[in-house]
Structure 1
């Protein structure tokens, strides 16, 4: 019994180290893939005019890196890309709204979210984002309406359900 306990501890330690090593390796490969995509897109867009998808992908990477001002520029270029007429621009407007939101430019973010919803009225992510920006602006009724619309389109939307419930509690004073 005295000899098996250290062996069990050693096995557990090795398993934990193996799991940690796999997580690190996975993250390294994921980061390399993102950096490779970033490099390719930047080079491509320096040489030629890209597609909406090119600008959207690069802008999304910049959002992940929290380079919001640069992301705004890329999304705006995406909206003016040659293939913009035949491309669904709702995700680009939503991402642009998110970039403005991250810079505390709430009114411009609202405008972009509404533009995304004009193009795709059942775009649940844009509805959630619109609700969030309304919350930040302390426009509780509009936020609740946005979340309820999101729930109508996607009944299992946990984020919208949670936020709507919280807002309802704020709107209805307790007796």
Structure 2
């Protein structure tokens, strides 16, 4: 230091006064405290990062477990939607089939009616053709026209009486559907008189009497059907229903257990 022309007065370390020493000790203590705080903050931040990391891992693992459930649910919903679509297509197919069938039947009836009407106009139609034309009009729900041609068929009829019973039955159906129940009943009775085993006419007669609220006579007509056809699907349930309505079992003695 003398070389540079500077003088430096050195003070021994032991000569440091108590006030400076206390300041330095406080500074050292503060530094230690600061280091402790920094160390605690570092530990806390490390713990926080570790907790967040573990939370993310746990969430990702949970997400991995839940995803298959979501996929199964989506597949199930897709299956239900496909089932509804297939059911709708099936219903549309069935509906289309019946519509086309009705159109074809209607067209066939129209062609038959046209041909038969031409024969009637020409005067060459016989009783059978008049009956067929009346039946076509009946199926087309032209009841006055059906009644007209069926009456003409009866006037010209020269065939078997059992076949004539079919004409009377068709005429009775035309009257009943046109709201003329009494006239229809008269035709059904003529039909079963000509052909006693004509179960279709008996069923029609029973139905007409039931519409007229004459339940007992209707029951007798349906019972006649069961005499010729015990398993008739039309007459059997009607007989059971009508028997309950007219109370046929009142006063009938019950057989003893011994008998």
TM-score when normalising by structure 1: 0.84
Does residue 85 (structure 1) correspond to residue 167 (structure 2)? The answer is: no
Shift of 1:30: 1.9
Q: What is the Cα deviation at residue 98 of structure 1?
A: 1.2
Q: Report Cα offsets for 1:100-121 as digits up to 9, x if no partner.
A: 1123322222221111111111
Measured after TM superposition, the shift of residue 174 of structure 1 is 8.8
Structure-2 change in CA distance of 1:90 and 1:9 (3 Å): same
1:167 aligns with 2:257: no
Q: Which runs of 5+ in 1 are unaligned?
A: none
Distance across 2 between alignment mates of 1:108 and 1:8: 53
* Residue number among 90, 95, 98 corresponding to 1:23 in the alignment: 98
Alignment of 1:5-20 (within 5 A): 5=79, 15-20=90-95
Relative distance call for 1:148 and 1:10 in structure 2 (3 A) is: closer
What's the CA shift string for 1:15-42, capped at 9, x where partnerless? 5544444333333222211111111111
- 1:65 maps to 2:143: no
Greater radius of gyration (CA): 2
Deviation at 1:128, TM superposition (A): 0.6
TM-score (norm 2): 0.59
Assess, with a 3 A threshold, how the Cα gap between structure 1 residues 41 and 171 changes in structure 2: closer, same or farther: same
| RMSD, aligned α-carbons | 2.4
Stretches of structure 2 lacking an aligned partner (at least 5 in a row): 1-71, 251-259
